[in-house]
Structure formats: structure tokens, C-alpha cells
Amino acid sequence: MSLSGKVCLVTGATRGIGKGIALQLGEAGATVYITGRTMDPKPGAAVGGSIKETIAEIEARGGRAIGVQCDHKKDEDVKRLFEQIQQEQNGRLDLLVNNAYSAVSYIFESIGKKFWELDVSAWDEVNNVGLRNHYICSVYASRMMVERGTGLIVNISSAGGLRYLFNVPYGVGKAAVDRLAGDMAVELKSRGVAAVSLWPGAVQTEEIMSNLSNMPPQQRRVFEQGETVEFAGKAIVALASTPVSSLLKDKTGRVLLTGDLADEYCLRDAGNRQVLSMRSLKFMLSHAGYSWLAGFVPTFPKANQTGFIMSLSGKVCLVTGATRGIGKGIAIQLGQAGAIVYVTGRTLEPVNSVKADGDVAAIGGSIKETVAEIKARGGQAIGVQCDHRNDEDVKQLFEQIEREQNGRLDLLVNNAFSAARAIAENRGKMFWEMSPDMWDEVNNVGLRNHYICSVYASRMMVERGTGLIINVSSGGGLSYLFNVPYGVGKAAFDRMAADMSIELKSRGVAVISLWPGAVQTEEALAVVAAADADPSRVTRPIDRRMLELFRRGETTDFVGKAVTALAAQPVSSLLASKTGRVLLTAELASEYGFSDVDGRTIVSMRSAAFLLEFYGFSRLSGLIPACIKVPFWLLPLMGLICLVTGATRGIGKGIALQLGEAGATVYITGRTMDPKPGAAVGGSIKETIAEIEARGGRAIGVQCDHKRDEDVKRLFEQIQQEQNGRLDLLVNNAYSAVRLISESMGKKFWELDVSAWDEVNNVGLRNHYICSVYASRMMVERGTGLIVNLSSPGGLRYLFNVPYGVGKAALDRMAGDFAVELKPRGIAAISLWPGAVQTEEIMSDLSKMPPRQRRMFEQGETVEFAGKAIVALASTPVSSLLKDKTGRVLLTGDLADEYGLRDAGGRQIQSMRSIRFMLEQAGFLRLARLVPTFVKVPRFFLAIMGSKF
């Protein structure tokens, strides 16, 4: 591969990867400009490296190099660098490699520290050179490349751009560097210039090799088998040797791995050693310590996103109370899925005295019958006669499983219940009219026994480090049902799952509370049959509605399918998003894609359509999609301390208004304290406070310029002092670049002044990091809190301009990396994407917009809708957010569906994932009307849309 005649620039090339790249480019015939802060060698330096040493090595290999002393923290140095290349090479620059990085020592010194434990200067230390400088270099380089109509920009990034690595500033910076390549590619592709992000693997840099002996064995092995510093250079030479027209077809804007390029271009490292892609299964096995297994795997199979279908073969399960009803349905489904199922009950032999008059004592059901049905479906079952009122029976049950299964128990289903007959006989009685014995009748088996079973099961599961406990509960845990002992027992049962999950999660054991709907048990069907035989027995409207509910209810096997679906998931997945929660069978059916045994779709009891039908509004219910659900949250924010940055107008003001109305004490910031009569858009701290107070809320205004670190520091010191260290919610919303974005619309990034980066991202990214540091220090002290970053779809795809998109992608990643460090401390971090928002600026320019864009905003969200979404999140227990939302990007439209939110005037806001929304925005209005709002593009498709690989 020859690069003869090409002009290349490698920033930060005095040692490490940058030096290796420069050596390979020089050896391939290119004229290589190299930069660094150190011109002359420093004898005795721990690691060393200088411009002159790199030049000498390049020239020793027959290459040509030009060294430029440049501190990439200084914009003036960078500007002079490109002026020199422009002058000496007559405007030619074929390749820019953005490699300079000044934070290696800092990262090593701060390993193990959380972001809030670091000084806020950590952001600048890591990302001034490693991100901001790369943007500035790319601006100057692009101006030269665009002029000639060809060129290539390579950003040296890492796997830290995908997952948490080292610390938060590092990961956010690398994600932004990857996004920088993606967004630059959008603007540069039509000008003949390609931009890619390159991920080397584990590289044997000078710093790494000098510390090799101090590393743990597994980490040492990774680097011992890693890439030399010149291997990335070989990959870049291969890219630079490829016609740019070819790169523009299939590589520009993507993240490329050196190991994958090695396969594509047949590259070898020093000593002709093959370097494995980090996607290679062989690589993964080898670095996980399974070297013997890796030896059997070819290098070419690589990881993809395909899931695995799991059976329950070999798993040991226990279902208590499985002679009939829900317990029997669960046991049958588990057995059919291949599990070894222990079933318990009081009745061993069949009882042939079934009646059809609703007498629950005569329903029948036995251990032998359940075992026989499981075996008839090809499963394995072991019946154990057990009276769950008798502690000795329960103890012997678990001793038997312990003995027969060598201590293995994968799943316990707490289902046994002995009070069905007592509840039926006392229907309509108040609790003081019943015998006090009713408490024991309902809750000795239905609550106390489940605790005892869970104790014995947990001892076995903890020993093996894995397991799942499912409590079969009901909606009686939420509101009054049947009688007082029943509802109290179910609420306690749900709480049992939550509290057990706290103690068991660290031991690898998940605990879930499961709510079936109206289940067609033998008892329920007998009651329905009796009512059909004698309608005069049914006098109350509520009884008629209940009967209809059971006629169309779930089969017992449907509950079994839900349990089987959960048991088939890796416990690690359940621990991440479901343990400690209440789950509904119908919602699990939607999630895992199963229906009832007769093919029916079961509607969630949270569905508005379900509730309307239950209360007699059948006609209205037919108009409501099943996806619209009543929210679980109904808690006010009374007593919560919240901070919304940038709240004088727009989305920030809308959020502050909603939080104040919900009862929170809201701190708001802005640069303008007093109203400015005649201002085009207006907005001030005092106006926002007045509106919050007019709604009965409480607000505290703090004048703060978020470009000034000292102002930000004083803001948090004030909250710390006034609220005794309490801050429950931080909303990172401040943004100072709206005008710049509007004025620069249509301009390419190289046509803008380099100050555009700072204008967009000093407040909109860097400041959010600093605010989060100070907020996290307060939240960590109290062990709870929520941080919400206001982002946008610009975090996924190109929008407005390069600095905007890179900033939003970094902001989304910031939430993800915050979550890694904050989750163990009880703090959630989320990135929120509103849709098209009717801000003051937008509405003032509405008449000037093209028809399609105008329609989008006319149908868009009000500024308060994002506030409603944040109130919903802030009303949700943080423990719940930590299970399934922290670290994620959430859409206001999706939260509206989840929490049952409506915008002003009761208007439904469609998710931007909605097919109807997309069709409307594309102008296909007639077709859009035929599509229900709940039909959405899957979330994984958004990930594919934004994929950099």
C-alpha cells in the first residue's frame, strides 16, 4: 500500500498510538506532519517521547516527517498548525488523524473514583484536548479538504464510546468523538470527504507496558495478547490507501474496529501475529479466561444481536398449592417447558364429588391428577403432600428437595392459598362482623407460609448464587378487594417481594410479585355456572360485572405461561429490570409475545378500555386502544427539592411550572432576573416564580450564568445551605445556543467559526456535567435522587449542525455513564427526548415556516408536557427507576403512554416512534388515520438507525 505524495497530519504523535500511526504512514510514503508538546528528548523521563525522536524513527525507515510543536489545549497553537500546513502544502491535506490526548496520567491516577468525587476540572482535563480540540482540528482540516473535494478524517476512539470505561468524562468524550465522525460524515459526504471513528483493541503503549507487572492476571493477559502501537497505523494506512469514493460508500460515519479491518485488509501485527477483533467469540472466550474453549472456536464467528430461545430443561421448580387453579396451571406450563416440577397440596388422591353449584369445597383437584397431566405433556413432576399451615410439613418439603436435587432449586412459586371458601362464605360482611379468626384463615397460608417457604428456598438459592422467587398476588394489593384481611395480606405479600429483593439482589436471586387478572379457576367457573343456572341469585350490578369479567378472563395456563416466560429469562436480566416489582400477567404477555391457550389476547387490568368496560361503559371502551393505561403512580411531589436550570422560558419554564404545581419546592435559574418589556421572546426568573406561586407552588429563583463555573458553584452552595443538603431532582435544561443555531441554519461546520463548539456545548454539555457533579455529591450523601438531562433526537441522528448533534449524543451518553456510577448509590440518571415543542421562539416564527414543518409544531407538545413527564418520573420511587429506566433515553410520548399523560386540553401526544406520527409528518395524512397510535417502531430499530458500526 503506497501513500506516496499524500499529506497526512497525526496529532499527539510523540509516543503511543499516535507515534505508531505516524511511523506506518511515513513508511508507506506519506509526508507526515506530527504534533506534540515536547520537541526534544528528555533523558530519564518515565515514559518519554518527543517530536524529534518520532521524526528520527520515520526518517530511519525512509519516510518524511515534519514536526510542529503544538499544545492542543491552546486554540492559537492549533490555528497556526493548520496555517503552516496550508502554506507549505499549497492547501493540500489528505488525512487528519485526531489522536492527541492529554489525560492518560490523570485517568490512571483517578481510577476507582466516582465522577462526583473528582474535581469538576476533570471534564476539561479529559475532553478539552480529547474532544473539543478534535472538533477544532476537523474544522480547519475540512476547510482544506472541501476546497480540494477529497480527504479522510480518522478519530481515534475506543470501546469506551459504547460502554462505561474508566470514568464518566472519558466515556462521554469517546461517545461524542464517535458521534463527531457520524455527524461530520453527513455534512462532508457530498463534498467527497470521509470521516470515520477507529477503535483499537488493547494497545501495548509505553504507559501500559511499564505498569504490566502491577496488573491483575486477567488484565495483564489482555495486554500481553494486545496490539502493538503500530497496528492501528497499519489499519489507517489501509484506509488511506482505499479510494475515498469507496470509503464514502460503506465506511464514512461508522465506527471501525482495527481487528475487523485486519480481517478485511489481511493485516498482521508485528511478528506476523494475527490480531482478533474484539467482536470475535474467540477473543471474548480467551479474555474471559476460557482459553481452552477458545482454542476450538474459529476466529471468524463474531457476536451479533441475535437473542437465544431458552427452555427450562434441567431446572428445578417448586409450585405450592398446585392441585387446582392457578397453581396447577403454572405447574403444567413449567413441566411442559422441560422443568422438574415439585407440586404440593393437601389432597393426594382424586376426589370424585365435583358439584356445579359454586360450592368451593367440592371442586376437587389432587396431587396425583396434576402430576399425571404434567407427565401426559411430556414433563417431569414430583408430588409432595404438604399442609402449608403446618411448619413441620414445610420444613420437610424443602429438606426433600435439598436431598433429592443436591441443593438445587431454581424457582419457587408461592401460590398456596387456603381461604377461598372462607372468603366466599363471608362475602358482603364487614371485617368487624366476621370472626377474628378470619385473619389467620386468610394470612397463615397466604402470607406467613410464603415467608417461611421463601426463607428455606433462599438458603438454597443463595448457596448457588442464583434463583427466582415469584409471589402470586393480586390487585387486592393495591385497592380494597373481598375483605380487609385479604387486601392487607396481598399488600404485605407485594411488599415482601420488594424487601426480599433488596437483600437477595446482591446474591444473584430475583423476587417478583405477579398479578394475574380475573382467572378462570375451577371455583370461578363453578360460580359462573351457578349464576347462569339461576340468574335471580345475582342482584348487584357489581356482581354481574364480576361474573362477566371471569367469563372473559385468563385461563390458569395463561398465568403459567407468564411464570414460564420469567423463568426462561437469565436471572441477571431479571435483576436488572424486574426484581422487587409487581408485574401483571397481561403485560408480560405483551412483552414476551404470548397469548392465552385459545389464542385470545388478554387485556391488562391497567388498560383504560378494560376499566371502562368493567364499570359499564362498553361502547366507550371500544373506542380506546388497549395500550392506554392508568398509571401506577399517583403520588404528589410534596416535600421534594428540585432544581431546573434555564427556566425563564421554554421547556425549562414548563418543567418548573409542573413541578411546582405538583407540590415540589423548585429552584430555578436563568440570567435574567426582572422582566424586560418589549423583548422579542422575553422570560425572566421573577415571571416564572410568579406563575408557579399563582398555581399554589413554591419557587426560589437564583440568577446564574451557566457559562461561569463560579456562578454554578454558588448555586449549589445555596441549595446545600438552605435545604440542609437535600436535592431530590436535577433537571439539566440550560441552553444558550438557540440563536446561534437559528442564525447558522444551513451552514456546514467548517463554514462556522470554531467558537461555535463552545457556544453550543459549554452550557449545553460541559455545564450539565458540572451541575451533575455538585448535585450528585448531595444526592450520594442521602442515598437517593434523580438527574434528568434534556436532550433530543439530535442525539441519534444528524440535526441542525455538527456541534449540536455531538453535544446531544454526549448528553445521552452522560446519563448512561452517570447511571453506572450512581446506581449502587441509589440515584437514577435519565436522558429525556421531548418531541416538537411549542416554545416561545418557535411559535413566534410559526408563520414563516414551510407547511410541513409548521404542521409538526402545530401538533407538537406544549412546553409543559415535558414537565408532566418529569413529574411522573419524579413521582415514581427511585428504586423502580433504578430497575428499568436509569441510564436510558426516554421519549416524552412513550412516557405519556406509560403514565397516562395528556397535554393541555386533554390532547394526546403521539410518540415519535408512532407509525401514525411518522406518516403524518411525511404528509400521508389519509394513510395515517388508518393506523392506531399505539403501533410503534421498536426501540431496537432506533438503536439500529443510530448505529455507528
Q: Is 151 helix (H, G, I), strand (E, B) or coil?
A: strand
Residue with cell 375451577: 522
Sorted by sequence, the CB contacts under 8 Å of residue 339 that are 6+ apart come out as: 312, 313, 314, 315, 316, 317, 379, 380, 410, 411, 567
Provide DSSP, 207-263.
Answer: HHHHTGGGS-HHHHHHHHTSB-TTHHHHHHHHHHHS-HHHHHHHTTTSEEEHHHHHH
Q: Rounded distance, CA 846 to CA 840, Å?
A: 10
Q: Is 641 helix (H, G, I), strand (E, B) or coil?
A: strand
Contact 347/323 with Cβ under 8 angstroms? yes
Q: Rounded distance, CA 321 to CA 556, Å?
A: 13
Phi, psi of 556, deg, nearest 5 = -65, -30
Sorted by sequence, the CB contacts under 8 Å of residue 149 that are 6+ apart come out as: 191, 192, 193
Q: Which amino acid is at 50?
A: S
Picking from 140, 154, 134, the residue whose alpha carbon sits closest to that of residue 239 is 154
Q: Which spans in 534-584 are helix H?
A: 541-551, 556-567, 571-577
Rounded-to-5 percentages of helix, strand, coil across the chain: 50, 15, 35
Contact 263/283 with Cβ under 8 angstroms? no
Q: Which amino acid is at 380?
A: Q
Q: Is 615 a catalytic residue?
A: no
Sorted by sequence, the CB contacts under 8 Å of residue 639 that are 6+ apart come out as: 663, 664, 665
Contact 312/332 with Cβ under 8 angstroms? no
Please report, for residues 95, 205, 340, 855, the alpha-carbon distance to residue 925 in angstroms, rounded to integers and kept in the order given: 47, 58, 55, 11
Residue with cell 432449586: 409
Catalytic option among 135, 140, 804, 899: 804
Q: Rounded distance, CA 704 to CA 668, Å?
A: 9
Residues paired with 775 in a beta bridge: none
Q: Rounded distance, CA 799 to CA 186, Å?
A: 10
| Pairing relationship of beta strands 64-69 and 151-156 according to DSSP bridges | unpaired
- Enumerate the active-site residues: 804
